[in-house]
Amino acid sequence: MPRLVWLGELTSRASAGNASNRPPHQIIYHQQYKFKKPQHFDDCRDYRRLLVQLEETERRFDEFWRTHRNRLQQCLELRRFEQDFRELQTIFDAHLKCVAEMTEIGESVERVDTLMADTKHYQELSRVDIERAGEVISAGQQLLGVRGVYPWEIVQPKCDELQRVCDIISERLVKRLEILSKNRELMERVEKANQWCANGVELLASQRIEKCSASPEIAEQSLQEIQAFIASAAEFKLSSPSEFKKIFLESTTPETKALVSQVLQRIDDVSLMCDKRIASLKKLAVKPQRPVQTVTPEPAVPLQPQGGAPHLLRR
């Protein structure tokens, strides 16, 4: 410690030079301090050594803290990922249960429209959780990107499970909307078919068969009305009532089987009545031909009698 020694020497010299001018008690105190000077140097060396040790300890602690802080941060991110996974797992279990209970498809156009609106609203709600699951999956993939830190067998299965459940919920909701859309089309045809049957019964009831029997013109008019009614099946997007059964059976489901069977029976009944009425009206609409009468010709009047022309005046 050269600087401390130099300062001590200066102090000693100054003290020696001024010793004659000091009081006795100050001289004694200076002599005592002079005797303790080597111990003072030892204390300074100890302090400096302790400072060096303290700096080294601080450096090692900083290195340890940086490593430990990184580990704590990694552990925190892993725990946050697992917590988000558990929360989403509970939410998706509720979604799956709710979607599984969506079995009603409606028995009228109005009811089907309500069910479709409810399904679309629920689809929007579930999309929020699905998007959150996508963020959690992305975070999990980022964790796996840090090699040797996060265990693959813990993170990857959870990411796969979230993706699987998201796909199931999305597919089931899309499939339900497709079923409801097809059922709505079916219900439209059912309602139109019911109205068609009601119009057919009303038309048949309004025609008086006795009037048709009395007048071929009335029979022809009634026949045209029924034929026009049969042609109105185009409203069902069909060419003839005979196609109702085929189209309905293709669109029917176990839930609508009874309703469709009832409608098909009504269609068959009305079609049968119309066919019978058409056959009857065709017979009545034919005008009877008048029978050809044989006419006996009258004898011709001769222009001149055989005996000669008669005399107009006899005298």
Q: Which residues of 261-291 are buried (b: 16+ CB within 10 A; e: fewer)?
A: eebbebbeebbeebeebeebbeebbeeeeee
Other beta carbons within 10 angstroms of residue 293's beta carbon come to 5
Q: Which residues of 92-120 are buried (b: 16+ CB within 10 A; e: fewer)?
A: beebeeebeebeebbeebeebeebbeebe
Domain 79-184 CATH assignment equals 1.20.58.60: yes
* Average pLDDT of adjacent 10-residue blocks, the chain of 315 residues: 41 48 49 52 78 88 84 86 94 96 90 95 95 94 77 88 96 95 88 89 86 80 88 64 63 76 86 89 70 57 52 45
Sequence-ordered strand ranges (E) for the chain = none
**pLDDT, position 118:** 96
The residue behind tokens 């600087």 is 3
d(CA 89, CA 204) in angstroms, rounded, equals 63
| AA letter at 202 | E
Say whether 18 sits in a helix, a strand or coil: coil
Nearest of 176, 186, 167, 164 to residue 120 by alpha carbon: 176
In a 13 Å sphere around the CA of 32, the CA atoms on its Cβ side amount to 6
**Domain boundaries in the chain?**
2-62, 79-184, 207-285
d(CA 225, CA 295) in angstroms, rounded, equals 43
Tokens of 303: 């222009």
Nearest of 133, 222, 208 to residue 170 by alpha carbon: 133
> What is the pTM for the complete model shown?
0.62
